[in-house]
Structure 1
Amino acid sequence: MAVIENEKNEKNEAHSNTTFVAEPYSIFDKRQKALIVFIAATAATFSGFASNIYFPSLATISEDLGVSVELVNLTITSYLIFQGLAPSVWGPLSDAKGRRITYFCTFLVFLGACVGLAETPNYAVLIVLRSVQSSGSASTIAVGSAVIGDITTREERGGYMGIFQAGLLAPVAVGPVIGGAIANSLGWRAVFWFLAIYCGAFLVVLVISLPETLRTVVGNGSASPSNPIARYPLTLYQKTTKTKFTPQTLPPDAAKKATIDIAGPIRILFSKQAAPVVIFLAIYYAVWQMSITAVSVLFSELYGLSETQIGLTFIANGAGSIIGTLITGKILDTDYKRVKAKHEADASQSGSETETDQPREVQHDDVNFPLETARLRLLPLLALIQCASILTFGWTIQYRVHIAVPIVTTFITGWMVVSIVSIVTTYLIDVFPHHKAASSATVNLARCLLAAGGTSIVTPIIGAVGVGWTFTITVAVQLLALVGLAIQWRFGSKWRVEAAEAKR
């Protein structure tokens, strides 16, 4: 199977002529980048809100619609399935036509689904509209990751990606609390009215404030997009830089890149440059989703918690996710700078480096750079800590240890798994710089489909063998998944070089 092009010079991503080296990678300064990341992170909260705000109401929805909890759990499964599939369409659209038009379309779909869910008459409509809702919200993460890739270089990308992940994970902490409170006071249907209002208000902000960042459309941000939808009203905000820049020349193959390649995420997923580490990530993410799906029912049945109380228990999981990704993002930037300095020193000593007039980041962002060392070093430690946390979670609930203990394990698990997702997403954006949204969609596709399968079987397995043994089995699978990480670490660099040579 053909492999999508690999690591190329980040500076040459938008074009290949010499004018580019005189201009910055992005015209946006730190404050502007912070605003763009904030908007992208807020957009990504819709995926988490739509998923997590729903958890405390599972038992109530089951009673109200007259179906079993297992059937209601299938709405989580359907949500995850479409959360995995939808970015495979929206991601390539974003890479071809632009970030703004993709955001606009996805939020319209999400808004319509929320209004329909608020008026759901029966279970069949519920499961269908949850799938549609997921199709609208899921892609905000992939598109947001691509936006960050558009405006940041490798050296700063880890930190900004950490901030982005922290923002989008806020719903993991507050979503269930809001959902539990709304469901208790106004009923579960009001949860979806809340999401509809939130979506409508934010869509206005996004359309007004977010600039187009797709580099084949606007280069480093200085070119004016021809598509009116790609333009935005606050153009003065984009021109606040004191230095005057000439519009960049777009890449010669821009027309080719404008093709919407729906199969792109699938090709990335099955490419040897991505498959081992993506499978590793998907397994760890699926186990996490299985644990938080089980929390709602287990804490209600075994500890007698109400909807509001169950919602409050999710704060630990969300707080761990947010804190973890912020810290991990900073570590990623530090690791990259350290590895780059060593790489430069080794190249200088070997005499292989030649003098050029290119900026420093241009000279060394190539296929020979030890990207796996710079990006993946933390993964084994994070994986082992998550295994210990999940094991503790299962057995403490099995023996009804004080509820504080399993709640603390959700904090640790959230920290570990979200850090893993952040690291792998950043790594894949580095490996596939021309397909940022598609590479993020690949992560979504794998982790969500596997999580969908996991959440659909977790309750029956718990009923058959108990909580402790259920999560002992999942930990065994996680340990086997470390083989994929080892393969990526050992052969990733070699495969990137081979793919680059094959493309020449």
Structure 2
Amino acid sequence: MSENATDTSMSAPIANADSILSTEPPYSIFDHRQRALIIFIISIAATFSGFASNIYFPALPTIAHDLNVSIELINLTVTSYLIFQGLAPSLWGPISDVKGRRVAYCFTFVVFLGACIGLAESKNYTTLIVLRCLQSTGSASTIAIGSGVIGDITTRDNRGGFMGIFQAGLLVPVAVGPVIGGALAGSLGWRSIFWFLAIYSGVFLLVLILLLPETLRSIVGNGSLTPSSVIARYPLNLYQRTSKTKWKPVTSTSPDSDTTRKRVDVIGPFRILISKQAAPIIIFLALYYAVWQMSITAMSSLFEAKYGLSEMEIGLTFIANGVGSMVGTLVTGKILDIDYRRVKTRHESSAPTDPEQTNNSQESDFPLEKARLRLVPIFSGLQCISILLFGWTIHYPHKVHIAVPIISTFITGWTAISNYSVVVTYLVDIFNDRSAAASASLNLARCLFAAGGTSFVMPMINGIGVGPTFSVCAAVQAVGMLGLAIQWKFGAKWRMEAQAKRRVDVEREESESM
């Protein structure tokens, strides 16, 4: 069944049996209330990646002192975390696209829980950095898997809004994580940070096992099929049975069920990453995300050195960045839905009158790049300005009040995550049958770029100063706009070529199997 099929999960109950039989199954059987619960659960799951990263920042100077190592070495634990944050979804994303979302979630949280307990008991730098890599392996994939869930239960018409809500949920740690980390490190010591994460993840794992349904379309179709695997089922599925939505269940033999069995393609995210239909926009986003992470990583040391702030005060300075991120993604998600519907209406009004031609036009010629990427140049320009403001105001701490760089982090967070929301929604639209793998490819690029940036940001600041460092960053971002321009100009052509090639491959496989 096409993803662009009408989503009837919010429609009125069907009056009689005849109308039930004549009604085409909806894209997803989950009604608005059920989707809200699913999005809420996966949003909480995605907070763990952000919590494990951001709760750690205010304690960096304290950990360096306690383990008797330099701040540069401690910053390498941030770099290693980002490297594995990029690599891990390339494994778990394809697994979730084949074996199921619940399977992937359960295994990743078990790994995360074990790593947190080990970190709380770590006594030396080597143990710290190894377990941070393992912790990242367990937490990072929750974002890619969550994006896959959204691709399972939404259509293009409403995906932007749901993706915005999901992104806002996972960004809560950006705002409150440093505050919690600063408070815990300042009162109970930095090890209490990891005990907090261990308790949090253990409790949530039980909630996830009980409440999250399997949504992978190759296993449950539009949600009406019963998974054969025990781990893919969930105990408390009563809320699904109380659905007011009336549907015609999709059978496993239906051509619309999307239940074709697939193999785990671990290199799938890498192929997406280097494909010409995705590479330009992914590289563009990775550059902007890397600069954002460089500014966040440097904040703790800069605010301590330039303004003499305590751990708790440093934690409070991160609130502006987190609030900007949350507000930005919520607003951007709504705008994405509005833009898509506006472009879709205009496209349909100019489409051929012949039904077959109209359907082909909608599938092949729809200006998806125009519908999704229109606002990206605005966000990008604002982020360049905010990065320059951040660097040069901290460069002269005695001349500029600390409120100015803090406000700049609000703008940076807003624009950086708005760009991310747009790009990840666009990629899920393009690779709907591999949504978690597509998200993993974006995650791989942005995290590896960020790992490189955070590894040399402090040495660069120490060498040429804060202002010049972030001026270079802004210049790199300006050059990165070329990727966006290339995607805008050639994206539609490359996307249609890939769709045509995929149809030919499917037809060849079907003919060979006959």
Q: Is TM-score (shorter-chain normalized) higher than 0.5?
A: yes
Amino acid at match of 1:245: K
Retained in 1: the 8 A contact 2:287–2:477? yes
1:367 correspondence with 2:364: yes
1:85 correspondence with 2:87: yes
2:313 aligns with 309
SS at match of 1:228: coil
2:157 aligns with 155
Q: CA RMSD in A?
A: 1.8
Deviations 1:301-357 (A, max 9, x none): 00000000000000000000000000000000000000000000110xx4354499x
CA distance in 2 between counterparts of 1:293 and 1:500 reads 40
Give the deviation of 1:365 after TM superposition. 5.4
1:146 aligns with 148
CA distance in 2 between counterparts of 1:84 and 1:355 reads 42
Retained in 1: the 8 A contact 2:178–2:316? yes
Distance 1:249 1:430, change over 3 A: same
Match among 396, 400, 404 for residue 399 of structure 1: 396
1:465 aligns with 464
1:71 correspondence with 2:64: no
Give the deviation of 1:126 after TM superposition. 0.1
1:300 aligns with 304
Match among 101, 116, 121 for residue 118 of structure 2: 116
Retained in 1: the 8 A contact 2:171–2:322? yes
2:218 aligns with 216
Deviations 1:447-500 (A, max 9, x none): 000000000000000011000000000111100000000000001101111112
SS at match of 1:148: helix
CA distance in 1 between counterparts of 2:363 and 2:252 reads 22
Superposed, 1:274-289 pairs within 5 Å as 274-289=278-293
Identity in percent:
64
Deviations 1:233-275 (A, max 9, x none): 1222112223253233367797864311000000000000100
CA distance in 2 between counterparts of 1:255 and 1:431 reads 19
Gap runs ≥5 in structure 2: 7-20, 505-514
Distance 1:109 1:355, change over 3 A: same
1:455 aligns with 454
Distance 1:291 1:257, change over 3 A: farther
Superposed, 1:217-296 pairs within 5 Å as 217-242=219-244, 243-249=246-252, 257-296=261-300
CA distance in 2 between counterparts of 1:209 and 1:500 reads 36
Tell me whether 228-237 or 452-461 shows the greater mean CA deviation. Answer: 228-237
Q: Please, what TM-score do these two structures have when normalized by structure 1?
A: 0.93
Superposed, 1:98-117 pairs within 5 Å as 98-117=100-119
Retained in 1: the 8 A contact 2:368–2:492? yes
Deviations 1:370-402 (A, max 9, x none): 100000001000000000000010000001111
Distance 1:493 1:33, change over 3 A: same
Superposed, 1:358-437 pairs within 5 Å as 366-400=363-397, 401-437=400-436
CA distance in 2 between counterparts of 1:502 and 1:127 reads 44
Amino acid at match of 1:398: H
SS at match of 1:37: helix
Retained in 1: the 8 A contact 2:284–2:480? yes
Amino acid at match of 2:294: M
Distance 1:398 1:30, change over 3 A: same
CA distance in 2 between counterparts of 1:140 and 1:365 reads 33
1:54 aligns with 56
1:193 aligns with 195
Distance 1:339 1:479, change over 3 A: same
Retained in 2: the 8 A contact 1:142–1:441? yes
Amino acid at match of 2:418: S
| Residue-pair matches, total | 485
CA distance in 1 between counterparts of 2:96 and 2:42 reads 14
Retained in 1: the 8 A contact 2:217–2:258? no
CA distance in 2 between counterparts of 1:340 and 1:212 reads 30
1:325 correspondence with 2:329: yes
CA distance in 1 between counterparts of 2:162 and 2:91 reads 25
Deviations 1:388-441 (A, max 9, x none): 000010000001111000000000000000011110000000000110000000
Give the deviation of 1:289 after TM superposition. 0.2
Give the deviation of 1:501 after TM superposition. 1.7
SS at match of 1:75: helix
1:441 aligns with 440
Retained in 1: the 8 A contact 2:23–2:248? no
CA distance in 2 between counterparts of 1:21 and 1:437 reads 30
CA distance in 2 between counterparts of 1:352 and 1:399 reads 66
CA distance in 2 between counterparts of 1:251 and 1:499 reads 25
Amino acid at match of 1:246: P
CA distance in 1 between counterparts of 2:229 and 2:85 reads 28
Amino acid at match of 1:10: E
Distance 1:203 1:364, change over 3 A: farther
Retained in 1: the 8 A contact 2:89–2:141? yes
1:475 aligns with 474
1:176 aligns with 178
CA distance in 2 between counterparts of 1:256 and 1:123 reads 47
1:359 aligns with none
Distance 1:251 1:265, change over 3 A: farther
Distance 1:251 1:73, change over 3 A: farther
